[in-house]
Structure 1
Amino acid sequence: MSTGTRQSASTASLEGRLGDEHGQGLFDQLTDVQFWIKDAQGRYVRVNAALLMNYGFNDTGAVLGKTDRELFAPHLADRYLLDDRAVLAGRPIHGRIELVARPDHSTGWHVTDKIPLRSRAGRIIATAGITRDLHGHSAAAIGDRIGALAPVVELVRATYAEPLDKPLLARSIGRSIRSLERQFTAAFGMPLLGYQRMLRMHQACHWLVTTRRPITGIALDLGYGDHSHFTREFGRLFGVSPRVYRARWAHRADATPASASLPRPVAPR
């Protein structure tokens, strides 16, 4: 028997003896890292304790076998679904900074990685992911690349309804505009304008499903000049108009455990 054959047989034998737990207890010790595996249909098949605690679920029985649309607020579920489609198509996500909702209706900054899982035949059959809170020791562990941009992130988040003031953002970290744009895109995987748009859309979804505010009013409050501009951008991201999105999801707003909004924007000082 060749060395390669012996190694393959040994691996198969080990996998056959491991059972279903496969290190689940180890992932449960990572209190600041959320871990999950979903099948090709988007159903959760593994989650760790940190994920359950973050979203306020009592136990794995509340999550396993369910999809994001059954568990989360629609604007969150739609984002997760878009990610799953990309990863299942073979496009992993590495080091993306994003807002993650919490059961107290706040949001926190996380860095997220998602990868495809393949069968022995090489076919993609599932996705796996982790997301880590950027606060406290986790932020230090992730590195200077993100920490250096913290003033920019906070300014964009606080003024997302205002025109993007790139000179102000560049001055906040002592960089030129060109240098800031390169550094930001490298860290976040999107340009500054794309990041501002994502924040606006996050808030738009929250208002659409949790309030009866007129859509034109939402558009103006988010910094769009008119209803049509907002509707075009919303449709490009979600594939439906704000009106259709509201009709589809508003009835579920009170039933989901994590429906978080951003803070109201304030003018820069």
Structure 2
Amino acid sequence: MNDKNFDSFVNQMGVKQLIRMFDLLPDVLFWIKDNSHNFIHANQAFIEHKGVKGIEKIIGKTDYDFSPAHIAEQFIRDDEKVLAGKNVTERLEMNMTQSGDTAWYATSKRAITNENGDTIGTYGITRHLEKQAKALSNVDAVKEPVDYIRQNFKHPFTIEELAEVAYLSVSALERRFKKYLAKTPKQFINEVRLENARKLLIETNMPISQVGDETGFSDHSYFSKQFRLFFGELPSDFRRNYYNNP
């Protein structure tokens, strides 16, 4: 079947029928959003994951209706990047399960364009990795150092100490992080600290300097600089913009 025949076949099927195929993937969450980040469709696995009875409870809602604020904020920011022309591909991340526990997921997102090439929304899929043995083996490869980072991010520790926890040399640890997380241990530590800082900025009235202290940044200017590099704005601006645009 050539491209022309394929396009004709797809047109005969109809978009709705194609989209409904995602209901056949029980371990994959699939959704479609408009330009304002409102859900306009989700597959059955997504509906069950959110703990609602039907698609009508999803349509018109945003991530803020289903996820803790700091997690929803990350989803929205990812959508904005995709709308701006960037792709999110197989990003390994921690997220919440339906029971409220945390687990590893891999997420990919793309923009939706109309016939004129205008971006009109986004779509994405997320896979729960613990339900997939091959992916889980990748997670296990960095489980010990990742767990250590998440449990100890508030305190100073060296890459050498992290390597000892994983029973690896520093170079082997670096290679493993680059292979399975596409980042260095230092980058991952920084991201964990910044994610937790963002959570405190949203969920507490803690002074910004204290937020830095509580998340492992002893140098307040360095904290502000890293926060802006990662999230695109200073901690003070992030907090103000969040509360001004709930």
TM-score (norm 1): 0.74
SS at match of 1:234: helix
C-alpha distance in 2, partners of 1:104/1:129? 22
Deviation at 1:157, TM superposition (A): 0.9
Tell me if 1:96 matches 2:91. yes
1:36-75 Cα deviation digits (max 9, x unpaired): 2234554433212332333444432333344446665443
Deviation at 1:171, TM superposition (A): 3.0
Q: Could you tell me which residue of structure 1 aligns to residue 151 of structure 2?
A: 158
What RMSD, in angstroms, separates the aligned Cα atoms of the two structures? 3.3
2:159–2:186 contact (8 Å) kept in structure 1? no
Code of the residue aligned with 1:12 in structure 2: it is S
Code of the residue aligned with 2:88 in structure 1: it is I
C-alpha distance in 2, partners of 1:103/1:144? 23
2:37–2:79 contact (8 Å) kept in structure 1? yes
Say which of 19, 24, 27 aligns to 1:32: 27
Deviation at 1:12, TM superposition (A): 2.3
Structure 1 segments unaligned to the other structure (5+ residues) = 254-269
1:50/1:17 CA distance change after superposition, 3 Å = closer
C-alpha distance in 2, partners of 1:118/1:80? 20
1:115/1:65 CA distance change after superposition, 3 Å = same
Code of the residue aligned with 1:32 in structure 2: it is D
Say which of 1, 4, 8 aligns to 2:4: 8
Q: Could you tell me which residue of structure 2 aligns to residue 203 of structure 1?
A: 196
Tell me if 1:228 matches 2:221. yes
Paired residues, number? 246
C-alpha distance in 2, partners of 1:228/1:57? 44
1:149-186 Cα deviation digits (max 9, x unpaired): 11111111111122243223223443321221122022
Deviation at 1:102, TM superposition (A): 4.8
1:96–1:187 contact (8 Å) kept in structure 2? no
Map 1:85-234 to 2 at 5 A. Answer: 85-88=80-83, 90-102=85-97, 106-117=101-112, 126-135=121-130, 137-138=131-132, 140-142=133-135, 144-234=137-227
SS at match of 2:18: coil
1:95–1:113 contact (8 Å) kept in structure 2? yes
Code of the residue aligned with 2:172 in structure 1: it is S
Q: Could you tell me which residue of structure 2 aligns to residue 48 of structure 1?
A: 43
C-alpha distance in 2, partners of 1:252/1:87? 20
C-alpha distance in 2, partners of 1:201/1:58? 35
SS at match of 1:20: helix
Q: More displaced, 193-202 or 26-35?
A: 26-35
Structure 2 segments unaligned to the other structure (5+ residues) = none
Q: Could you tell me which residue of structure 2 aligns to residue 259 of structure 1?
A: none
SS at match of 1:83: helix
Percent identity between matched residues is 27
